[in-house]
Amino acid sequence: MGVGGNFWELLKPYARREGFDFLRNKRVAVDLSFWIVQHENAMKATHVRKPHLRLTFFRTINLFSKFGVLPVFIVDGTPSPLKAQARIARYFGSCGIELTSLPVSEGVSAERSSLFSSRVQECVELVKLLGMPVLQAKGEAEALCAQLNSEGHVDACITADSDAFLFGAKCIIKCFCPNSKEPFECYNMSDIEAGLGLKRKHLIAISLLVGNDHDMNGVRGIGLDNALHFAKAFNEDDILNRLQEIGKGDTSQIPSCTKFEDNIDVDGNCPNTKQPHCSLCGHPGSKKDHMKFSCESCVTKDDEGCQRKPEGFKCDCCSCVLNRRHKEQKREENRYSKICHKIAEEPNFPKDEIIDMYLCNDNGYFSASDGPRIIWGKPNIEMLIDFLNFHQHWEPSYIRRTMFPMMSTIFLRDMSTPTGETLLFGQYEFDSVERVKMRYGYQFYVVKWKRAGVNINTSKVPSNESSVQQDVVELDEMVDLLDDAPEIHVDGCNFLFTDENMDLVGTAFPAEVKSFLQEQERKRRKNSKSRCQENEKPASPNSRSTQLSITEFFPSTKIKHRQSKQREESSNDADSEGSKSSKMKRNMSNSDNLPKSVRRRLLFD
């Protein structure tokens, strides 16, 4: 959840849609609990065995191999008693039970449910087997994500909890859609500061007013709009101190931004009362005077008088401008006064423990001098196969095939180091770059892998899961489960094809990539040369009959159309003449059948 009051909608105009390679080779902190909850919601309608494991597995492979991300998984520690109380209050509220206060000391456990904790542990074991680093937070996972981001240990955070900004995050990726040109929905704190004028402490103040994960209610009667307006009235250094003063009952001070400077007229005087205005044109002066003499502000002839003021007219004289500014100031003061009285009436506001928790910069089990230990290792394939076979009932061949894109990415990265392995999976070697592939507007190399030392055909290819897995309908739009799955080509040898990043392949195999590019250039020149030769050849009669230029095509079609029309007309004439003769013949034949008296009358009459 994070900050209440549709806080994400407030930040939506400042979101950025980033491209496919936005996070390539960057470290990203992932809120694992958020993934698990999201998986459960996505797979409620289907009968999938342990969806949290299934989607964590596929999503991690997609992030690592397709987007080139280096993920760091963060898990929750012990939640604060305030959050445990707010969680229970939310549960009772969803059941229609109004719960005003429920102290944690009276039986409310701060620990999460055993079912959710077991799912978290299973996912932690899975990502560790995939070689991904896992860090545990002291409290909230998004707090540690934000700390790692603010201290520069990671470049972004993947979470949907908006209070990560309150903990100090600089860049948050709320969601991503892999099947698009701009898959990442990114929020930068710098854009929020430039657009809304809000900094970290301003956001903390807004969360205290509208509610958050640790205080669901906030201040009753204050919505997001009033909270935003109130927070902008103070600078970042004063906003939290001012909230504490108002909470103690001090509502006398008025923020400087609600005060306006008085305008002065041309003579240096500042009128305190509004001057009389003409009811017809709306300009300074009386209607009686304007009937005798034309208004100086109205552009009319002397004998026509004033012009009638249009609908919604506002006079811009010094007196009217000053009067409107005083009214605006009065409205702002009244609005500020109402907010202050509502804050003062709220008991125990603001809660210092919530403020201290948001401003804390010690959310992990590591020292500030040493920093976190973040190391990416290689997947333990054999133990991973046993783990997924036990929990998901997947075949080992299917697991190896699905893991191939991730292993190929690790292999290409290791090839740039002297200690890199020469075989992928211990049995596949780099064969060649097959072609360049466009995917979502970005170019990739289709790499051909050859199974070393094997020259026999394969009779069985593990291309699908079991029949139960085939019936599963995928509901999570954030992953494309087998988009990077390799294809198998049988041609006397075993070949696998994967889509790889062009820079990664160029760094790992520069000679092969150079040879491929030279071959592509040679083919391009050859094709262009052959096209030029075909254009220079004289056109033969046969070729002209089959292929005409665009200037020759339309005249020829017009001639053909005219000739066909003439033939149709001649055939119609012939048909009409034939029909007339046949009609006469029919009439003559019919006249033979008439009686003799009738034929005589027709003949002579």
Question: Rounded to an integer, what distance in angstroms lies between the CA atom of residue 578 and that of residue 569?
Answer: 14
Q: Are residues 306 and 420 in the same domain?
A: no
Distance (Å, whole) CA 377 – CA 374? 10
pLDDT at 227 over 90: yes
Residue 291 has pLDDT above 90, yes or no: no
Residue 315 is predicted with a pLDDT of 79
**Would you place residue 475 in the very low, low, confident or very high pLDDT band (cuts 50, 70, 90)?**
very low
The mean pLDDT value for 342-367 works out to 91
Evaluate whether 480 touches 539 at the Cβ level (below 8 Å).
Answer: no
Q: Is the pLDDT of residue 459 over 50?
A: no
pLDDT given for residue 372 in this prediction: 92
| Residues 153, 9 within the same domain | yes
**CATH number for the domain including 34?**
3.40.50.1010
What's the per-residue H, E or C state across 403-439?
HHHHHHHHHHHHCCCCCCCCCECCCEEEEEEEEEEEE
Residues 443 and 389 both lie in one domain: no
**Is residue 383 domain-shared with residue 428, that is, in the same domain?**
no
263: which 2 tokens? 């305008």
**541 lies in some domain:** no
Q: 306 and 427 in one domain?
A: no
pLDDT digit string, tens, across residues 437-450: 988 778 899 999 98
81 confidence band (pLDDT: 50, 70, 90) = confident
What is the pLDDT at residue 357?
93
**pLDDT band for position 573 (50/70/90)?**
low
Instruction: Give the tens place of pLDDT for each residue, 170-187.
Output: 999 988 777 777 888 999
The least confident of 34-48, 219-233, 500-514 is 34-48
pLDDT at 301 over 90: no
Note whether 305 and 409 are same-domain residues: no
Q: Which has more pLDDT, 478 or 95? A: 95
Q: Answer yes or no: do 379 and 416 share one domain.
A: no
pLDDT confidence bin for 466, thresholds 50/70/90: very low
Q: What is the per-residue pLDDT for 320?
A: 82
pLDDT at 458: 35
- Label residues 509-537 b or e (16+ Cβ within 10 Å = b): beebbeebeeeeeeeeeeeeeeeeeeeee
512 compared with 596, residue with greater pLDDT: 512
Query: What is the pLDDT, as a whole number, of residue 488?
Result: 54
Tell which of 465, 497, 530 closes a domain: 530
Domain count across the chain: 3
More confident residue, 488 or 466: 488
605 pLDDT exceeds 70?
no
129-138, 288-297, 418-427, 510-519: lowest mean pLDDT where?
A: 288-297
pLDDT at site 464: 38
Q: What pLDDT is recorded for position 266?
A: 42
Please report the pLDDT score of residue 328 as a whole number. Answer: 84
Residue 250: pLDDT over 60: yes
Q: How many helices (H) and strands (E) does the chain have?
A: 21, 11
Residue 358 lies in a domain: no
User: Does 400 lie in the same domain as 381?
Assistant: no
pLDDT at 471 over 60: no
Q: How confident is the model at residue 578 (pLDDT cuts 50, 70, 90)?
A: low
In tens, the pLDDT along 21-68 reads 899 999 999 999 888 887 666 555 567 788 889 989 999 999 999 899
pLDDT given at position 217? 83
Q: For the chain, give the mean pLDDT.
A: 78
Q: Are residues 406 and 320 in the same domain?
A: no
Within-domain flag for 597: no
Lowest pLDDT segment from 92-101, 398-407, 500-509, 562-571: 92-101
Parent domain of 94: 1-198+366-393
Q: Is the pLDDT of residue 387 over 70?
A: yes
Q: 101 burial class (0-12, 13-18, 19+ CB within 10 angstroms)?
A: exposed
Domain boundary among 530, 557, 592: 530
Does 117 lie in the same domain as 79?
yes
**pLDDT attached to residue 394:** 94
The residue ranking higher by pLDDT, 160 or 584, is: 160
Among 18, 128, 7, 112, CA closest to 71:
128
Question: What pLDDT score does 517 carry?
Answer: 93
Whether 313 maps to a domain, the answer reads yes
> What would the mean pLDDT of 211-217 be, rounded to a whole number?
86
* Mean per-residue pLDDT, 115-130: 93
Average pLDDT over residues 161-174: 94
Q: Are residues 187 and 328 in the same domain?
A: no
What percent of the chain clears pLDDT 90, i.e. is strictly above it? 37
* 61 and 168 belong to one structural domain: yes
Classify residue 591: in a domain, yes or no. no
The verdict on residue 360 lying in a domain is no
HEC per residue, 527-581: HHHHHHHHHHCCCCHHHHHHCCCHHHHHHHHHHHHHHHHHHHHHHHHHHHHHHHH
593 vs 83, more confident: 83
Q: Which pLDDT band, with edges at 50, 70 and 90, does 329 fall under?
A: confident
